Amino acid sequence: MSYQPLLAIVSHTVFIAVAFFALQAIMPEKIIKKNRVFQAQLLYILLSIAIGSTVSNFFLELSYWSGRLPFMFG
């Protein structure tokens, strides 16, 4: 039984949460128009998903390819 799907779900969730946490450092009131709270929150969520998924995919692929290295030399 493969653990890859579970690892991918956990990885994506963790990196999306980390991206959301990191985006909290941005001061949106200097960028976002006034009275656009919902749009700002939606933007934070979408940016978190985009950044977190990209970083997660990078680490999952890095893990996969590093696991394949022994087959290259064996």
Q: Please report, for residues 12, 20, 28, 44, the alpha-carbon distance to residue 23 in angstroms, rounded to integers and kept in the order given.
A: 16, 5, 10, 7
Task: Kindly report, residue by residue over 6-63, the tens digit of the pLDDT.
Answer: 999 999 999 999 999 999 998 777 778 888 888 888 999 999 999 999 999 999 999 9
Per-residue pLDDT for 71 more than 70? yes
Q: What local confidence, expressed as pLDDT, does residue 2 receive?
A: 81
pLDDT in the model for residue 67: 85
56 burial class (0-12, 13-18, 19+ CB within 10 angstroms)?
buried
What is the structure's pLDDT at 12? 97
Q: Distance between CA atoms of 23 and 41, rounded to whole angstroms?
A: 11
Report the length, in residues, of the chain: 74
